[in-house]
Amino acid sequence: MNLSVLKKIRVIFSILYFIIITLLFIDFTGLIPPSVYDSIVFLQFVPSLFKFKNLLILAGIGFILIFLLNILFGRVYCSFICPLGTLQDIISFISRKIRKLKKYKYQFLKPYRFIKYSFLTIFVFCLFTSTSVVVSLLDPYSIYGRISSGLFRRILTYGNNILVSELQKINMYSLYRVDLKAEHWTILAVTLFFFVLIILFSVFKGRLYCNTICPVGTFLGLCSKVSFFKIEINKNSCTRCSLCIRSCKAGCIDIRNQSVDFERCVACYNCVNVCRDNAITYTTKKSLPEIKPNSNINGNTRRQFLGILALILAASIKKIKAQEIVTNTATVRTKRQIPISPPGSISVEMFNASCTACHLCISACPTHVLQPSYTDYGLIGFMQPVMDNQAGFCNFECIKCSEVCPTGAITPIELGSKKLTQIGIAHFEQRNCIVETEGTDCGACAEHCPTKAVTMIPWRNGLVIPNVTSEICIGCGACEYACPTTPYKAIYIEGNKVHLTAREPDETTQKKEPEENFPF
Amino acid sequence: MKRRDFIRKSVSAGVIAGTALSFGGYGKLFARIVDDPLLPYDLVAVRDGEPGLMLDKALEALGGIQKFVKKGQTVVIKPNIGWDVEPEKAANTNPLLIKRLISHCFTAGAKEVYVFDNTCDNWTACYKNSGIEKATKDAGAKIAPAHSEGYFQQVSIPNGKNLKEAKVHELILSSDVFINVPILKSHGSAKLTITMKNLMGIVWDRRYWHRNNLNQCIADFATYRKPDLNIVDAYHVMTKNGPRGVSKADVVTMKYLIASTDMVAADAAAAKIFGMEPGLINYIQIASDMGVGQMDLSKLNISRIKV
């Protein structure tokens, strides 16, 4: 087989896969059917590892597939499947078209073993101790998810809204506005930090990010030491022209020793294509690359690592009142003590332990009730999605998040059981209620309640006031969202640490005999 | 476009003509020469028919759709599409009624017909699952979004007591004809939702109404812009657990339809059908006191039609 076809396959596959996975994250129309999500995202290494761990189902088999591919061919995940990897390739490609940036040629790089093994060690430790925040910060798929959900999707909706306002002027309503709630600045800062980091790395050093910081890259690199197929340089044919080095994004070709550090090779096959001497082979022949260990720590990377740590610390310091808005009548401060995790997540603890904060569900949630959390879950669940009833409420008829979740943090749930899954319970604070403070009718909460857990019961002066039947409340937050009191809500959901099952709503049939004549 | 419009109108006219003929004696629909000495009626109440047929009869009794929609005008129809539930649960206006109404508008020569509601549940799900999006498109009208503040414009309500200003959907401001098509339902706090309450779906900030005496705000807003026609769908009626409802057990099939240009009169008649005294519905009483319309049905010229 002509080896040059490998690069073509890689480019076509990775671009197609990248486009589809990006569409999943930026689709604000909900047009992509839920079945597409799993068939695309199941290949992502860390999410599918989590899914396998959480659900022990075949759906989580993606990581095993990746592992086997890795054993056969090396780090194909990094070049074919990882969206963050493809993003770097795209940025590198563009930057090499820009004259000023052209001079940054690829070259052989130090392996930075200390840094990469440190990140891997931390990552694995956090994986086993369920320290999700670190897993979330370092999983490349989740980083890309947050970039495309938090940045690309936002930019797209701004553009969409500008277009819509122009079309509106001529009464065209085929497109529609999309209003997204702003993320907390720390979450945006983390996303931007990684985006800029990725841009810098890919412009100046190719895939160095994947070979220093990315724990998945390092892990797959270690596995690829025993890979069946390997990129090798045939010393007899090689003329040391260095063309391969100039094309090696990973900087893993040592031309002086005519060797390839296959641990760092991301299987992009660029070198295969440029070699004029046909000296680069992709074979099963075993040979041991001789590269001396190098424990020299790169100062820049250390600063970046410290930067991440600083950000995490900064996020943990300031507590905010995320669930409050400000004006007048309500006087009693109501704030939930227990955060609400989405239906299907079984318990807050399990959710926190299994979510990598890729924000796919946040992108898919039609009511935008799922928002990235700041301090709701504490530091451990930083950036993980949380039910935010200021932004919306959980649609009674919807299970979209459970259909798209790639990690199994939100387990698949049937609509019927979702409608009885109690993720929290409504709490009524009468002292804030309009009916009490203003002496007028309101009932917005009862209006929105899909199970009639909140009803209006007779009060004084012919008025009716809300009453909560906890057993049939599912904690969807419609009442809290609709409650008009400010600055505090008169009705709010207190999360259930462990989700419970609500009683079925009451149902009494009625018979009404139609009257013979008009009643007027 | 013009040819398409022509075809669309011809087809809808054909459908209506066919239906009219098949029920016999309603060929007058086109003649518009209604020789009823009691015309014009203040209110028409129809019962015991299918939604589309009852609408035909009501419009005929009112002097035909041409009385309300003139050639070349733009029409905006405001049904209740508030909830993500199927039509049988009667939380949203019957899509068959909307479809027929749109056909009538095009028959009268309407240039464009728009349909929208500022929903309570997720708007795309409401539009889809209520069946109204499909009904609208099938009839050749356009469904418009109303889920973002960007579609609403500030207006003042000079006669309002608590509600002095509101943000109103731009289509209400730009369209020539406004037809209000609520469904009669029970309501947790306002007791009933009919024509006046349905107008909460053409404004943006409903929470303000809830904070500032809901009943007064409903009446206040009724002074802002009278719909050119109100058609109350009381075919399936949610008699409890409104306005969203829990199950089909909340619904009673009553097979009524009311049409009137007077919202207070329409609400009073609908309340009677529901089995409640209009005076007990606070906003009906307030609106009547403010002179929005006539709640004393004995003072109205009513056409009562049994199909």
For an interface test with A, the pick among B187, B246, B277 (most A C-beta atoms closer than 10 Å) comes out as B246
A250 and B CB contact within 8 Å: no
Query: Tokens standing for A319?
Result: 């507590």
A&B contacts, CB < 8 Å: 138
Share of chain B above pLDDT 90, in %: 86
Query: Which ranges of A365-433 would DSSP assign to H, the alpha helix?
Result: 400-404, 415-418
pLDDT of residue A303: 52
Per-residue pLDDT tens over the stretch A153-173: 999 999 999 999 999 999 899
Q: Which residues contact B178 (CB under 8 A, 6 or more apart)?
A: B75, B76, B78, B172, B225, B227, B228
Inter-axis angle of helices A185-205 and A83-95, nearest 10: 60
Closest CA–CA distance from residue A171 to any residue of chain B (Å): 8
Q: Between chains, do A519 and B148 touch, taking CB under 8 Å as contact?
A: no
Residue pair B232/B182 in contact by the 8 Å Cβ criterion: yes
Query: Tokens standing for A486?
Result: 């400010």
Query: Tokens standing for A101?
Result: 């940036």
The three-class DSSP label of residue A349 is: helix
For an interface test with A, the pick among B189, B250, B258 (most A C-beta atoms closer than 10 Å) comes out as B189
Per-residue pLDDT tens over the stretch B277-302: 999 999 999 999 999 999 999 999 99
B-chain residues near A456 (CB < 8 A) = 188-189
A389 and B CB contact within 8 Å: no
Phi, psi angles (nearest 5°) of residue A147: -65, -45
Nearest to A439 by CA among B24, B295, B215: B215
Nearest to B159 by CA among B232, B201, B221: B221
A-chain residues near B187 (CB < 8 A) = 443, 447
pLDDT of residue A395: 97
Nearest to B260 by CA among B48, B68, B90: B68
Residue pair A3/A10 in contact by the 8 Å Cβ criterion: no
Q: Which residues contact A183 (CB under 8 A, 6 or more apart)?
A: A150, A191, A371, A372
For an interface test with A, the pick among B210, B256, B295, B299 (most A C-beta atoms closer than 10 Å) comes out as B210
The DSSP string of A97-130 is TSHHHHT---------HHHHHHHHHHHHHHHHTT
A-chain residues near B200 (CB < 8 A) = none
| Chain B residue with the nearest C-alpha to that of A167 | B151
Query: Which DSSP letter does residue B203 get?
Result: B
A337 and B CB contact within 8 Å: no
Handedness of CA A239, A243, A247, A253 (dihedral sign): positive
Confidence of residue A322 (pLDDT cuts 50, 70, 90): very low
> What's the CA dihedral at A5, A6, A9, A11 to 10 degrees?
-110
Distances from the Cα of A520 to the Cαs of A130, B63, B288, in angstroms?
Answer: 69, 22, 18
**For residues A262-291, average pLDDT:** 80
Per-residue pLDDT tens over the stretch A402-421: 999 999 999 999 999 999 99
- Tracing tokens 């609403």 back to the chain, one arrives at B152
Round to whole Å and give the CA distance between B201 and B169: 9
Per-residue pLDDT tens over the stretch A283-296: 875 544 444 444 44
Nearest to B300 by CA among B290, B67, B288: B288
Share of chain A above pLDDT 70, in %: 90
Per-residue pLDDT tens over the stretch B39-89: 789 999 999 999 999 999 999 999 999 999 999 999 999 999 999 999 999
Q: Between chains, do A447 and B148 touch, taking CB under 8 Å as contact?
A: no
For an interface test with A, the pick among B241, B248, B284, B298 (most A C-beta atoms closer than 10 Å) comes out as B241
Round to whole Å and give the CA distance between B181 and B82: 13
Closest CA–CA distance from residue B26 to any residue of chain A (Å): 23
Q: Which amino acid appears at position A365 of this protein? A: C
Name which of A30, A177, A485 is nearest B124 (Cβ-Cβ).
A30
A434 and B CB contact within 8 Å: yes
Nearest to A174 by CA among B136, B204, B11: B136
Largest CA distance in chain A: 105
Round to whole Å and give the CA distance between B153 and B23: 44
pLDDT at residue A362 is higher than 60: yes
**For residues B129-149, average pLDDT:** 97
Q: Which residues contact A92 (CB under 8 A, 6 or more apart)?
A: A202, A203, A206, A249
Name which of B47, B125, B269 is nearest A397 (Cβ-Cβ).
B125
Round to whole Å and give the CA distance between B148 and B128: 18
Share of chain A above pLDDT 90, in %: 70
pLDDT at residue B105 is higher than 90: yes
Q: Are strands A230-233 and A280-283 parallel, antiparallel or unpaired?
A: antiparallel
pLDDT of residue B171: 96
Q: Are strands B142-143 and B112-115 parallel, antiparallel or unpaired?
A: parallel
Closest CA–CA distance from residue B55 to any residue of chain A (Å): 17
Q: Which residues contact A56 (CB under 8 A, 6 or more apart)?
A: none
Mean model confidence pLDDT for chain A: 88
Per-residue pLDDT tens over the stretch B185-212: 999 889 999 999 999 999 999 999 999 9
Name which of B214, B272, B302 is nearest A441 (Cβ-Cβ).
B214
The three-class DSSP label of residue B237 is: strand
Nearest to A466 by CA among A415, A427, A423: A427
Per-residue pLDDT tens over the stretch A200-214: 999 999 999 999 999
Q: Between chains, do B244 and A449 touch, taking CB under 8 Å as contact?
A: yes
Q: Which amino acid appears at position A60 of this protein? A: G
Query: Which DSSP letter does residue A149 get?
Result: I
**For residues B151-157, average pLDDT:** 96
Per-residue pLDDT tens over the stretch A95-140: 988 888 777 888 899 989 999 999 999 999 998 888 999 999 999 9
B-chain residues near A442 (CB < 8 A) = 189, 210-211, 214
A505 and B CB contact within 8 Å: yes
DSSP bridge pairs for A454: A468
Confidence of residue B4 (pLDDT cuts 50, 70, 90): low
Round to whole Å and give the CA distance between A166 and B59: 37
For an interface test with B, the pick among A441, A456, A474, A516 (most B C-beta atoms closer than 10 Å) comes out as A441
Confidence of residue A508 (pLDDT cuts 50, 70, 90): confident
pLDDT at residue A317 is higher than 70: no
Mean model confidence pLDDT for chain B: 90
Residue B17, number of CB atoms within 10 A of its CB: 15
Closest CA–CA distance from residue A453 to any residue of chain B (Å): 10
pTM of the model: 0.87
Round to whole Å and give the CA distance between A282 and A271: 11
pLDDT at residue A327 is higher than 50: no
Q: Between chains, do A173 and B124 touch, taking CB under 8 Å as contact?
A: no
Name which of A30, A395, A507 is nearest B121 (Cβ-Cβ).
A395
**For residues B174-188, average pLDDT:** 96
Choice between B305 and A57, residue whose per-residue pLDDT is larger: B305
Round to whole Å and give the CA distance between A141 and A203: 20
Q: Between chains, do B188 and A510 touch, taking CB under 8 Å as contact?
A: no
Residue pair A150/A181 in contact by the 8 Å Cβ criterion: no
Confidence of residue A509 (pLDDT cuts 50, 70, 90): confident
Beta strands in A257-379 (DSSP E): 259-260, 280-283, 370-372
Round to whole Å and give the CA distance between B291 and B295: 10
Q: What is the ipTM of this complex?
A: 0.87
> What's the CA dihedral at A314, A315, A318, A322 to 10 degrees?
160
Confidence of residue A1 (pLDDT cuts 50, 70, 90): low
CA A170 to chain centre: 38
Helix (H) or strand (E) holding A497: strand A491-501
Round to whole Å and give the CA distance between B187 and B207: 16
Nearest to A495 by CA among A333, A396, A349, A365: A349
Confidence of residue B92 (pLDDT cuts 50, 70, 90): very high
Name which of B114, B120, B246 is nearest A451 (Cβ-Cβ).
B246
Residue pair B96/B242 in contact by the 8 Å Cβ criterion: no
The three-class DSSP label of residue B180 is: strand
pLDDT of residue A328: 65
pLDDT at residue B263 is higher than 70: yes
Closest CA–CA distance from residue A407 to any residue of chain B (Å): 26
Closest CA–CA distance from residue A349 to any residue of chain B (Å): 29
Per-residue pLDDT tens over the stretch A22-53: 999 999 998 999 989 989 999 999 999 998 88
Closest CA–CA distance from residue A361 to any residue of chain B (Å): 16
CA B45 to chain centre: 14
